[in-house]
Amino acid sequence: MPNSTPTSPDSSTWMDALADFLLEEPSIEAIRLNPESKRVEMATLGRVDGELLQAKLTEVLRAVDARWLQKTETVPAHSGMLDVRQKDGALVLEKPSCPTAPKFWKWRDFAWPEPDEMEQESDDEWRTLAWQAAICGVALVAGYVFDQSALFAISLIAGGWDAAKDAWANLLERRLDVHFLMLAVAAGAVAIGAWEEGALLLFLFSTSGALEHFVMYRTHKEINALTKSAPKLAHVLLPDGTTEDRSVSGLRVGDVIVVKPDELFAVDGTVISGSTAADESTLTGEAVPITKETGAPIYGGTLNQWGLVQVRVDRPATQSALAKIITLIQTAQHLRAPSQRFTDRFGTRYTILTLGVVTLMFFVWWLGFGISPFENTAVSKSSFYRAMTLLVVMSPCALVLSIPSAILAAIAWGARRGVLFRGGAAIEKLAEVDVIAMDKTGTLTEGELKVAKIESFPAGRENDVLRIAVSLEANSNHPIARAITRHGQSEGIVADKLAEFQSIAGQGLRGRTAGGLSYVGRRELVKDSALGEVLAGVPDAPLGFSEVWVLHEQIVGRVLLKDEIRAGSRGVLEKLAAEGVRTIMLTGDRRAAAVEVGEKLGIAEVRAGLHPEDKVAAIRELTQAGHKVAMVGDGVNDAPSLAAAYVSVAMGARGSDAALEQSDVVLMQDKIEKLLSARRISQRARRIIQQNLIISLGSVIVMAVASLFGLVPLTLGVLTHEGSTVVVCLNSLRLLFEKE
């Protein structure tokens, strides 16, 4: 029945995600999937990028995997815009269309995300191509030694097998590509008796193809290492104090899990009991373990080093930081860079142009210059031989591979070091930036308050002030409360037991201990009390500090907190200035506090008191002035300005979902220094892309011109063409071994 389908109790999340995916993709008309058999099909209209669609679909399919439980009747939020029904055990979502439209749809099978299988398939593919290239090479050498055409024929078949499959698939879709060109040249070489040249061409072509797939396999392996690190089971704490092992996909927000030493944290959560240290290197690249006390955040996929802790689940597995990183990287592999769009033009149109030029030159040489059409002589090669040589050197193999090979290598480099590029465009564009705008809180500063000073009035009761503050704040989840609680634990403060506890909206907390009634909160608590005269001699909190007052029958004091500047912020700004990059702080904080931070960091320009729309206006102002602006932020209020920037960079460890969604680059480690790493690999990748383009375009132009004058023998043309392809791939591989 339309608009009603058997789904799980929690299906609305993934159903809405699936509906969003369908509505946002104009080339997709319908989706048909069966989670139980793990089969998914999509109906497309017109030409589509299958790899990119696969990458985008993967995140939704993971949600389906995690949520397909007991079947109940629910209706997705998009039921008014889509036809949703159950058919033959599969869920079907369709866009509204006319009755005849489905006749023009093309149903395609898409892979269900199985990381191990995908990596194995990638490994098998490059190894198969390598074996084919090896057989081609051995048969080629044997053919030269024994002068047997049959051996050359074996070499031709082995070297051209994969190219023939790709060319046939493209021909069925009415497309011509470089594989067709290579086969055409090889066939032409055989036609004129140049078996060895044809076999040599396909040997070099198959070798470069195997090398290209090896580059992709290495990238795929680096990325899937993150997926493999994700835990599969968790120890769930039951009400009676016992534990049961449960699939990570079955965890719900609010569940409490027990994590033992040397086990992986299953999902994102918060420590509620115990203490330990977490190895977050798989997530952030940081080798130093991070201390985790009560109230500290935990990230799924990281390693619990030594303590037994209880963790409250804050997010389901499909929304964990690790899952988001994996999805970002998988999508990034298939997002094209600006330079890659340039090479995309060398597809069907260029192939047709090349075949046209070669055919024209064949007749020019034959009819215009009187060169024999097919018969080679000791003095001159035939017109057909010259045409085949021209066809070889004009084939854009190296040009087609010059950008994607470098982009994939750069993405893999970043993934291993906590820098996530959401596509090739981000890699290229970051190197062009001449202005970097930064939010203050959470970007240049830690974004987390810390206790800076305890004061009592009169002095001498500071420990009592802290003890009362810890006793009450331990029952609150406010960021200030967490900061005070952490500080108290570090000082060895033991919280008093509360007989009463009350939260006073907008003011603070009230509690009763054995020592009497206590209040913790805003200055007004003291101002409105009988001890209000104490305030007369106490100035407001210093610039950049927050204050929490403690009021007791015999004790009055306050806790001063401050958001500390990130340790690496000043060094980053100095290095950016040395590179000629202008830096600007865009913050919603008070101007005096922002200027203080700006002066300490030496930032060039500070704009404070900004609302989100003001930040966007600032970005647009700089853009209209001709600058290429990168915006670095972490909060929900930064998301609009991130979207407006030429390049958007999000602090990913604690960044908001909105900021991460709008970002081109994600710095997963909470260190601003990673911005320099991202910029450095961006500049390096850009230089390698330029080198690759010079090598590939240069070889095509030089050899094509030389071929027009009959100066290039077919063998040299083959070696130059395929040699440049190998050089381009090897040049790109250098990015994988760049130091941070």
3-state secondary structure 276-324: EEEECHHHHCCCCCEEECCCCEECCCCEECCCCEEEEECCCHHHCHHHH
Q: Where are the alpha helices (DSSP H) in 491-568?
A: 523-527
At which of 540, 565, 590 does a domain end? Answer: 565
Residue 530: exposed, middle, or buried by beta-carbon count in 10 A (0-12, 13-18, 19+)?
exposed
Q: What is the pTM of this model?
A: 0.54
Read off the DSSP letter of residue 374: S
* Of 109-118, 135-144, 374-383, 588-597, minimum mean pLDDT range: 109-118
How many CB atoms neighbour CB 26 within 10 A? 10
Whether residue 22 sits in one domain with residue 119: no
Instruction: Answer whether residue 259 is part of any domain.
Output: yes
Whether residue 425 sits in one domain with residue 450: no
C-alpha distances in Å from residue 6, one per residue of 10, 59, 616: 12, 21, 44
Q: Which residues form the domain of 57?
A: 5-113
Tens of pLDDT, residues 49-84: 666 666 667 656 655 554 443 333 344 444 456 777
Whether residue 255 sits in one domain with residue 126: no
Q: Find the CATH number of the domain harbouring 305.
A: 2.70.150.10
Whether residue 210 sits in one domain with residue 76: no
Whether residue 290 sits in one domain with residue 196: no
Instruction: Answer whether residue 737 is part of any domain.
Output: no
Tens of pLDDT, residues 63-72: 555 444 333 3
Number of domains forming the structure of the chain = 5
Whether residue 590 sits in one domain with residue 642: yes
Are 361 and 708 within 8 A, CB to CB? yes
Instruction: Answer whether residue 257 is part of any domain.
Output: yes
Whether residue 158 sits in one domain with residue 69: no
- Asked about 439 being catalytic, the answer comes back as yes
Instruction: Answer whether residue 717 is part of any domain.
Output: no
Whether residue 202 sits in one domain with residue 94: no
Tens of pLDDT, residues 154-202: 988 998 888 888 878 777 767 776 677 778 777 777 776 668 777 876 7
pLDDT averaged over every residue in the chain: 76
Are 201 and 186 within 8 A, CB to CB? yes
Instruction: Answer whether residue 685 is part of any domain.
Output: no
Whether residue 574 sits in one domain with residue 440: yes
Q: Find the CATH number of the domain harbouring 528.
A: 3.40.1110.10
Report whether pLDDT(256) > 90.
Answer: yes
pLDDT of residue 700: 80
Catalytic residue among 439, 496, 589, 634: 439
Whether residue 146 sits in one domain with residue 108: no
Instruction: Answer whether residue 379 is part of any domain.
Output: no
Report whether pLDDT(148) > 90.
Answer: no
At which of 542, 565, 588 does a domain end? Answer: 565
Whether residue 439 sits in one domain with residue 576: yes
Tens of pLDDT, residues 589-619: 667 777 888 888 888 788 887 777 788 888 8
Tens of pLDDT, residues 283-342: 544 445 677 888 888 888 788 877 889 999 988 877 776 666 555 445 544 444 455 455
Average pLDDT over residues 666-695: 85
Report whether pLDDT(389) > 70.
Answer: yes
pLDDT of residue 287: 43
At which of 57, 83, 113 does a domain end? Answer: 113
Instruction: Answer whether residue 255 is part of any domain.
Output: yes
Instruction: Answer whether residue 691 is part of any domain.
Output: no
Whether residue 577 sits in one domain with residue 432: yes
